[in-house]
Structure 1
Amino acid sequence: MGVSSLRRGLALLLVLLALPVVAGAETLRVGVTGGPHAAILEQVAALAAREGLTIKVVEFDDYQLPNAALAQGDLDANSFQHQPFLDEQIRAHGYPLAVIGRTVVFPIGLYSKRIRSLDALGRGDKVAIPADPTNGGRVLLLLEAQGLIRLRPGVGIAATPFDVIDNPRGLKLVELPAAQLPRALDDVAVAAINSNYALEVGLVPHRDALVLESADSPYANVIAVRAAERDRPALAQLVRFYHAPEIRRFITEHYGASVVPAW
């Protein structure tokens, strides 16, 4: 190799070494449930792609699967659950997961095709609630706040139907997987539906719910990762892109008060 060629080679090497290392060298597989979680993350992925980070959105139709997939290494992160649900999953399954950022709040609501007010609930009417522990307790607290039932004192979010100590209308509490609750509206008087699933079937929570949790609900959704990788630079990039002004604007313009940014 001649001197001039050697100089050109060294110059090219120096240029390459000076180039910034971007997160785009990696592809992140991020699990979500369908509806707004998926739609928002698609926007995040598009924003991240402009700076070289590839985000592959992986959809699930069940709340139990994304954490298992993350724990066993099939995902790099997930974005579908609130903090109390994640805490319960960690207690129940020992998943080595951690939170790296907050996303949105989906206020849970009570919906009906049969009645226009909870005052119209009859004796023995069926009320469908989520079968998972944290969202089930969340709905029981909402029913208690509406004066429909009374729970054992101090039980809080851990409440189950067995903790109902007063049920003056004899309401029948039917536990179903959260994703099935919109379809249950034809068979029950009232169904408690998370806003992400309500929006997926064309319901507008702040318009159609008989009762809706307030927007300051403590059930903010989170981005979860394996605890051992919580400091991975590409995952910090994921949070940065999710928290971008463009994503907040997309959420507000597309979902109004039905989905609330939590950062």
Structure 2
Amino acid sequence: MKKSNALLALLLSACFIAHAHAADPSKPEIRFGATAGPYSDQIRYGIKPQLEKEGYKVSIVEFSDYVQPNLALADGALDANAFQHEVYLKKFSADHKLALSELVKVPTAPIGLYSHKHKSLNELKEGATVSLPNDVTNQARAIILLQQLGWVTLKPGVDPVKSSERDIASNPHKIRLVPLEAAQLPRSLDDVDYAFVNGNFALAAGLKLPDALLLEKIPPYYLNLVAVRTADLNKPYVKDIANAYRSEEFKRVIDERFAGFSKPAN
């Protein structure tokens, strides 16, 4: 019995040592930034437990806007963030001269068109108000959906991915577009006829994806991602983050908790 206990203790000790040395010794704590809602929850339930098994301490900082998470990452206050797609990351990094890079894409909640006043898209009336994101890349996503609905058409030669209100050629229903910060869009539902709401803010506000009158079919360049500082891409802790997102354990969490999300190909 004593030999058995001694062997068990030795095995447990070996496992502890293996886990302790699995973590990047230069980075004992990993600080994630994410918008409140599904992307912070993906880290909380699918990523944090895995990294903690590897010996890391993991903290999550939640944000309510799309500006501060990248600035905090670039300044070193964060080690990674999860809230944006590659179009937004590239433009924001270029505009602010930040050296940030994509690490891995993550399951993403689509933009949806919601209404508290109408039960269908067929109830659109002349002069209706439609709120949409005011940041460049997410506004373009909403305008693409407006064009798909036939509510607006774009000027010839305009790249829809870079489109804005100024690129609208015709607006047959005389819709009044109301650009707002993405986080404010759920609150606008009581004041407008329809609102385009980013999936994370919709879920955080208690809206359900299946209740949207229209859901975006997300192309790969609009799938959200984990961003890190470019200089850190090859560091061991960054590779551990990527491995956690690609793991079967994370996939199980997504299937159980985030139904309806668009998933990356790998």
CA distance in 2, matches of 1:201, 1:67: 23
CA distance in 2, matches of 1:241, 1:200: 24
String of CA shifts for 1:150-179, please: whole Å, max 9, x gaps. Answer: 112323211111111100010011000101
Question: Please, which moves more after superposition, 180-189 or 216-225?
Answer: 216-225
Q: Which amino acid aligns with 2:162?
A: A
Secondary structure of residue in 1 paired with 2:30: strand
Aligned residues: 245
CA distance in 2, matches of 1:124, 1:57: 43
Aligned residue in 2 for 1:125: 128
On the 8 A contact 1:28/1:54 being kept in 2, the answer is yes
Secondary structure of residue in 1 paired with 2:258: helix
Per-residue deviation at 1:112? 0.3
On the 8 A contact 2:24/2:236 being kept in 1, the answer is no
**1:130-169 counterparts in 2 under 5 A?**
130-153=133-156, 154-169=158-173
CA distance in 1, matches of 2:263, 2:228: 20
Per-residue deviation at 1:255? 2.2
Q: Does 1:22 align with 2:22?
A: yes
Q: Does 1:105 align with 2:108?
A: yes
Q: Does 1:201 align with 2:173?
A: no
Aligned residue in 1 for 2:5: none
Secondary structure of residue in 2 paired with 1:170: coil
Aligned residue in 2 for 1:5: none
Q: Which amino acid aligns with 2:159?
A: V
CA distance in 2, matches of 1:215, 1:95: 26
Against the structure 1 CA distance between its residues 252 and 62, is the aligned structure 2 distance closer, same or farther, given a 3 Å change threshold? Answer: same
Secondary structure of residue in 2 paired with 1:174: strand
On the 8 A contact 1:112/1:190 being kept in 2, the answer is yes
CA distance in 2, matches of 1:239, 1:73: 19
Secondary structure of residue in 2 paired with 1:105: coil
CA distance in 2, matches of 1:88, 1:233: 27
Aligned residue in 2 for 1:180: 184
Task: Calculate the TM-score normalised by the size of structure 2.
Answer: 0.88
On the 8 A contact 1:84/1:134 being kept in 2, the answer is yes
On the 8 A contact 2:110/2:215 being kept in 1, the answer is yes
On the 8 A contact 1:114/1:189 being kept in 2, the answer is yes
On the 8 A contact 1:252/1:260 being kept in 2, the answer is no
Q: Does 1:242 align with 2:245?
A: yes
**1:26-105 counterparts in 2 under 5 A?**
26-43=28-45, 44-105=47-108
Per-residue deviation at 1:22? 2.2
Per-residue deviation at 1:122? 1.1
CA distance in 1, matches of 2:253, 2:21: 29
String of CA shifts for 1:115-164, please: whole Å, max 9, x gaps. Answer: 12222111111100001100000110111001000112323211111111
CA distance in 2, matches of 1:251, 1:261: 9
String of CA shifts for 1:86-128, please: whole Å, max 9, x gaps. Answer: 0110121111111111112221110001112222111111100
String of CA shifts for 1:14-38, please: whole Å, max 9, x gaps. Answer: x9xx967321642111110000001
Consecutive unaligned residues of structure 1, counting only runs of 5 or more, are 1-14
RMSD: 1.7
CA distance in 2, matches of 1:216, 1:70: 26
Question: Please, which moves more after superposition, 21-30 or 41-50?
Answer: 21-30
On the 8 A contact 2:117/2:193 being kept in 1, the answer is yes
On the 8 A contact 2:151/2:172 being kept in 1, the answer is yes
Consecutive unaligned residues of structure 2, counting only runs of 5 or more, are 1-13
Taking only the aligned residue pairs, the percentage that are identical comes to 37
On the 8 A contact 2:81/2:226 being kept in 1, the answer is yes
Larger Rg belongs to: 1
